[in-house]
A and B are shown apart, each in its own frame.
Chain A
Amino acid sequence: MILFFWITSSHRSLGQTEFKEVSFEQKTQSKRAKYFLTGQVNQLETGEPLSGVSIHIDGFFAGDNTDKNGQYAVSLDSGRHRIVFRQLGKKPSHYIALMYGDGQLDVGLANLDFELEAFTVQAEERDRNIRSPITGVTKMNINDIKLVPAFLGEPDVFNVLQSMPGVTSVGEGSAGMNIRGGQADQNLIMMNETIVLSNSHALGFLSSFNGDALQNFTLYKGTVPSYFGGRSSSALNIEMRKGNKEKWKGSGSIGTAVSKLMIEGPIVPEKTSMIFASRLSNANWLLNQANEVDVQNSKINFHDIYLGVNHQFSEKNSLDFNLLNTGDYFRFSDQFGFEWNNLVGSLTSRNLLTDDLSLVGMVAYGSFNNGFFEPSPIDPSKIENGLYYFQGKVTGLWTLEKVDVNFGAEAIQYQMRPEKQSPLSPESGIPYQTVSKERGMEYAPFVSADWNPSENFSLSGGLRYSNYVQQGPDSVFRYEEGLPISRLTIVGVDFIESGNVVRYNGFEPRLSFRWTFDASSSIKGGYSVMNQYLQTISNATGPTPIDLWQLSTTYILPQRSHNASLGYFRNFQEDEWSTSFEGFYRTTANQLEYRNFADLFVNPHIETELIQGEGMAYGAEVLIQKNSGGITGWLAYTYSRSLIRTTSEFPEIQVNQGNWFATNFDKPHNISLVTNFHIGRGRTFNTNVNFSSGRPVTGLSSNYVIGGIFVPNFGNRNEFRIPNYFRIDFSYLTNGFVRKWDDKINFSVYNLTGRRNAYSVFFQREGRTPRLVPYQISILGSAFPSFTYTVAFGK
């Protein structure tokens, strides 16, 4: 791989970026938080106005294009910005704009010859990794996401993230990601800052965020800013696109497993726009190709719908409405099945109140329902649970001379739905059973300040004071003192009809610094404390879409993590190459583990099945990224450990005798190599190579016989490891069949070598011999191709 990158480094970049600096000063002394930049973009050679030119600000598409007269208007925070004007077939124009007043910037774009088109692919600022104030931040936009080969050919946020350092998953077919050794539920996942609890499709193979409506994402895996909270590991904010304000357009795709439709345009020209994007699976015919009867009799369906409406009241005030609905149904033969549905809606108001103060207010509603059913011949039944929540958040930005101050407050009211067990047929003997669940509120004021005393040094500090109240009604069981909590030690129950059941709170300091040595190297560090009051509980091998969400209670204490990270960043050859080396260390108090053979469903005293402990994660990450040229991509290596030990005073319920042991997702070595070959004329050939250590499993230590049954005797939890994981994917993106249409083809093959990567291990008797031998299950044991044909209209 090093050789490969050495070879690619010999490619000379023809698209070297030159930034022109422009400065706009306010004529009066008063200072404002926001300024407006307006102007016109013309064809350089002819002077004709250019419509549809995209405007990228600080590395990301701003969501605005020039109108039919080539004109644009964007609102920018006070300060220094990188602005790039782009259009297909034109040479992009780069500016550094010093915005200390409203300004006008007219731009001319030159036509681009073939070579330049092929060699300029990086939409993001190349030196952002050096200059951004906090460590452990990963940002990417949809254009880059599309270049990473993915399962079913769908551009996918989670797939891309798993090729970046510090991000892994338990394995194929598990929902959620593990970031820097954290559990999947320790990640705060948001869409436009609205919490999204269920965020995957098809048992975790795809995320719920449609690439057609996605603009970019930002992952905070080091120091999470104080305006995000509620999880103890990381925060991922996914920004969705705004609709086009001038013209109706869209696209439709049909693929081997997923079909899509996207429409966007002005409801009221120049004022109100909308975007609608949906995906629908059509994968059942693939299951029918399997040669196992149970797989043929299985079913998998999923969908997602995104609607975004943006209204611009004035230059200073706007309102956004976002709605995401996702749903999944999976049934494995007549043995078991799952279905879940997720709805998230939000209303966001953005207002510039005074010249130096802006305010963003957001209210949101989320609802998540899931069901687990067993359509077996005897006593078919179904278990349902879920929750809904209301989220409110106000964030202010106050801009001073050298300090930007963020402040605000956030509150979330959670209401768990009662867990219900019901028969699936009249003949079933399973009785209706309901277990009521908790209600709780989490609220937190926060403040943070970014101080830039000099060009070389910046300091970012924040404080969040999180509070949590579990509210009645609830039944709180009492247990016999001096014995472990279990259903056998229940001595009574207190019913609390209203008021507060239990309350927790804590300060969460966040601190990070950046020291820039020169234009191409910097060092950054950070420390943060984060509390978590909502977590998932599961006794499955990996996170599943139907994991139970559990609020903190009298017996289930909130998690509290301490995170520290330090990184060195260096770019080479005028930012054509960027590199980083980061280390991290985290401890988490009250991390949840399940007890052996835990019975989690329809259990009114769930604490009897759980045990809390101490988590520890540490590691180092290396990223070498090539940002421009005919071949781009990155090489990421992560060394990461994730350990836990239970801390009960009662030895009989301790897991592994209270010793440290590896979590299910502890994979010490991870290597990813993503390469994009830009062939020209919009064609790219992309590969993704992944290697990781095998994850821990619980293995067999001996066998014994009771009553004629050969019983495997399993050893300590997660004592063994499955074989290492290796996978190569490739994709080829090109123009479509029909020259007159704006059509695209995506052909990709997931697991190109067809390697049978172990997902898990089970033990089985071989023939008539009594000894059990280990077998591995591979979820995708062969190459998995997909083909997607997309036609855009209204361009």
Chain B
Amino acid sequence: MIKIHNISFRFLLVFLLYLLLPISCIDKLDFVGDTQEGQLVIYGLFTDGDERQAVNVSQTAAFGLSPRGVPNAQVFLLNSRGERISRYYSIGNGEYEIFGVKAVAGESYAIEVILDENVYRSKFEKVPELLAEDVLSFGFANEPFRTESLESVFTVFSETTLPATRDPIYLRWMIEETYFWPLVYLPGTGFPPPVPPPCFISDIIEPNRLNLFNGSGTSTRKANFVVGKRRVDNSFLYPLFVSVRQLSINREAYEYWEKIKIVINNQGSLFDVPPAPVFGNISNIEDQNEIVLGYFEVAKTKVTRIYTTRADVPFYLVDPCQYFPNKPEDTYASECRSCDSRAQGRRWTNDAPDWWKFD
């Protein structure tokens, strides 16, 4: 006859509880290394589009804080012969821009930045000639997004058709939203009471997604991508446009962005490529040892848009600015009375963009 030894069932219970514990975890770490400040960062994008062309000049700050803009630089656009063909104008906070100049496919360009008697110059970058076709769509779903718990999420998809050629093509997408936000209409303020101008608020969706595609390593000519996701909130109460800007870039720029993608998405896991500083194509012409961060890139570009209205949203949305006749004016949230408050640092305007049109 088989006899069983006395077993503590409490022991077994504790044992089972252990098994239900999660086995891996992520914690915020309390270490800050020796940070470097004052490193020069130059980023410029020059495209073939009829748009504002911009260069940003900044310097890194201590403790990993946001970089500081450098407003006192001189910035020039150079053609393939090294001639200055245009000068960028400072609009403050390290932003420099030009209008009315655009890139020509097949041509090469560079920038020159003069700062404190130092001359920084980028390599010459050639503008690609190919573009792909994007067809956009969107969807709403409840899914894990920023955390493991379910959230209401808006997703933008692109069905991209590449040109039927064997020539290499490298693509990057930037995705931006612009939504309409009316300020609350308060009839008691003036005669006739003025209708407050609406806000058109713009922001980059998921900047760290960095959508890249290397068309040279695959025979795929049509591919479906998720180009951006964002949480559904009361921005969807009114029409929201998504502008997907396709940038056809050259191989060098693609490799640069690939490295940026590695460092911004580094999960620190065993199988991640260890991070490293990413060096761009700009250097001090007299001191090659000075590390200059950033990149000057050229691109052939195309913008595709799609919009969504409240009728598309399958979730219940609360309007924080609903008007009630007896409600005192100062009890409305500031976002109901001021575009600046609503935008919270995002770009905004009272004028509808040219493309703000509904089919």
Residues on A lying within 8 angstroms of B by beta carbon are 173-174, 203, 256, 286, 289-293, 295, 336, 377-379, 428-431, 539-542, 544, 596-598, 697-715, 717, 719-720, 722-723, 736-740, 747, 749, 754, 756, 758-763, 765-766, 770-785, 787
Contact = CB atoms under 8 A, between A and B. Distances in A.
Nearest to B203: A708
B196 interface: no
Interface string B22-54: 111111110111111101010101000000000
19 contacts: A540-B272, A542-B270, A596-B277, A700-B33, A710-B207, A711-B263, A713-B277, A738-B2, A738-B4, A739-B3, A762-B266, A771-B66, A775-B28, A776-B268, A777-B267, A778-B24, A782-B18, A782-B21, A782-B22
Nearest to A543: B270
B210 interface: yes
Interface string B209-234: 01000000111110111000000000
Given A378-B223, A704-B294, A707-B174, A756 B271 contact: no
Interface stretch (B56-64, B71-79, B104-112, B325-333): B56-64
Nearest to A781: B25
Contacts of B63: 771
Contact of A749 (B4, B18, B220, B269): B18
B20 interface: yes
A451 B31 CA distance: 55
Given A544-B271, A699-B33, A783 B58 contact: no
A705 B61 contact: no
Contacts of B43: 705-707
Interface string B236-280: 000000000000000000000011101110111111111111100
B15 A787 contact: yes
Q: B35, B268, B272: which has the most chain A beta carbons within 10 Å? A: B268
B147 to A, nearest CB: 11
Given A292-B148, A596-B277, A710-B207, A544 B270 contact: yes
Contacts of A723: 29, 31
Contacts of A772: 64
Interface of B: 2-5, 7, 15, 18-29, 31-37, 39, 41, 43, 45, 56, 58, 60-67, 144, 148, 174, 204, 207-208, 210, 217-221, 223-225, 258-260, 262-264, 266-278, 293-295
A431 to B, nearest CB: 6
A242 B225 CA distance: 58
Contacts of B62: 702
Contact of A706 (B26, B144, B262, B294): B294
B208 A539 contact: no
Nearest to B144: A293
A720 B23 contact: no
Given A379-B220, A540-B273, A787-B15, A774 B31 contact: yes
Given A336-B271, A701-B36, A703-B64, A711 B27 contact: no
Given A597-B259, A709-B208, A763 B266 contact: yes
Contact of B22 (A293, A429, A781): A781
Given A286-B19, A597-B262, A701-B33, A715 B277 contact: yes
A429 B220 contact: yes
Given A256-B19, A712-B264, A771-B66, A698 B219 contact: no
A702 B60 contact: yes
Contacts of A540: 270-274
A782 B20 CA distance: 10
A593 to B, nearest CB: 11
